[in-house]
Amino acid sequence: MTMTMNIRMKQVAAAALISFGAIGAAQAQKAEVIHWWTSGGEAAAIKEFATMYTKAGGTWVDTPIAGGGGAQARTVMANRTMGGDAPTAAQYNYGKQYEEIIKEGLLNDLDDVAKKGNWDKLLPEKIRNAVKVNGKYFAVPVNLHNENWVWFNKAVLAKAGAKEPTNMDEMFAAMDKVKAAGGVVPLALGGQGWQEGITFRGVLLATGGQDLYLKTFKDKDASTPGFRKAVETFKKLKGYVDPGSPGRDWNLATGMVIEGKAAFQMMGDWAKGEFVNAGKTAGKEYGCFMAGGPKMPYAIGGDVFVFPKQKSADSAAAQKKLAEMMISPEGQVAFNNKKGSIPIRTDVDTSKMDICAQAGVQAIKENRLLQSDNELLSPDAKGAFEDAVSKYWNSSQSADDAIKSMAVALKR
């Protein structure tokens, strides 16, 4: 055997070892991720994370669970974790949704990843506080959503002779013109409890701003004149909604605006992912404004991923790798440009963001962040409040009785 052949064989053997090691690492970095992003825009966004993780040598196992604003996915996550079959990572919202499984000792903390990534300085204070529990990081934030956006079809408004609105009063005037013109639904609404809840909170902010919002959800006070006005204004919207609303998924309502079958939708900025997925451009085919106007506080909402404890050390390595990738500048821009949300870090390139996202980033820079009802209410109280809102919307209940029911729900 010649020296050249020996060298060649060693090179082949080394390559084989490297390849084997890579395969072994990939198998060790298999990550099952539970989430509820199943619409076109959402699926395109989570695919960005999956592609990055795969390129980094891992194996992404996608487990999407549709419906209920994430309630079904959270139930599956809780049942599997309690039953000893936890996924590698699971989606939650900011707030108290995952505090119970922390108390049960079922989640890994991310303090070593956070220290390495300097999260204490990287994250805005209110986001930092939203994902820390008892001084420890138990979740990686991946985006910042504002649920109180209004989306509209520019061509529909132009055809009806309506001015493009910048606040809710102007929106009512525009809807009147669309309604008078006929043929198009003024307001597309998905008639599900969580969507009716978002619509109500948008009206609440538009009516009384941050002060009324905090008076309601932080002080748990539903006795103010401003709250009554918000309740009555909310019900006034029903005169602009079509009979097909009950049970409709949010993305189908967004589709109505995209296709020119409806003029407006009040929905979080995840709706923008559907416009992007349909090839539409903000400021060209569609417009947006925050329900309370351009200086409205940005109610902190969005998504995080938590990482249940696993028996395998390899799984812990995969979890750290996922967390580092999700919060990286590259991951943040790629994911949020598809998702419709904005990055949770301000040190990323915003030049390619659309006009709606840039307005959101400006809100962060101006520290116009507001604790959401998810943070201010227990899951039980939030559910009871949305049930009260939904009953009022879907029945002939009086405003007086609705306010009494909402007040009781807030105290739970």
Mean pLDDT of successive 10-residue segments in the chain (412 residues)?
Answer: 39 38 53 94 94 95 86 91 92 88 94 96 87 94 92 98 96 98 97 95 94 96 98 98 96 97 95 92 94 80 93 88 95 89 83 82 82 88 96 98 98 90
Strands 140-141, 303-306: pairing is antiparallel
- Give the Cα separation of 65 and 53 in Å (integer): 20
Does residue 170 sit in the same domain as residue 48? no
Structure tokens at 59: 């194996």
Instruction: Check: CB of residue 88 under 8 Å from CB of residue 315.
Output: yes
Residue with tokens 């009953």: 391
CB contact set of 5 (below 8 Å; sequence gap of 6+): none
- Give the Cα separation of 149 and 202 in Å (integer): 8
The reported pTM is 0.76
Does residue 265 sit in the same domain as residue 217? yes
Does residue 232 sit in the same domain as residue 327? no
Judge whether 21 lies within some domain.
no
Judge whether 20 lies within some domain.
no
Does residue 270 sit in the same domain as residue 185? yes
Residue with tokens 């490297």: 18
Structure tokens at 181: 């013109």
Nearest-CA neighbor of 66 among 87, 32, 33, 36? 36
Q: Tell me, what's the pLDDT at 68? A: 60
Does residue 178 sit in the same domain as residue 273? yes
Judge whether 64 lies within some domain.
yes
Judge whether 124 lies within some domain.
yes
Judge whether 50 lies within some domain.
yes
- Give the Cα separation of 21 and 15 in Å (integer): 10
Does residue 270 sit in the same domain as residue 388? yes
Does residue 277 sit in the same domain as residue 312? no
CA torsion, points 347, 350, 352, 354, in degrees to nearest 10? 150
Q: Tell me, what's the pLDDT at 347? A: 82
* Residue span of the structural domain in which 389 resides: 149-299+372-411
Number of folded domains in the chain?
A: 2
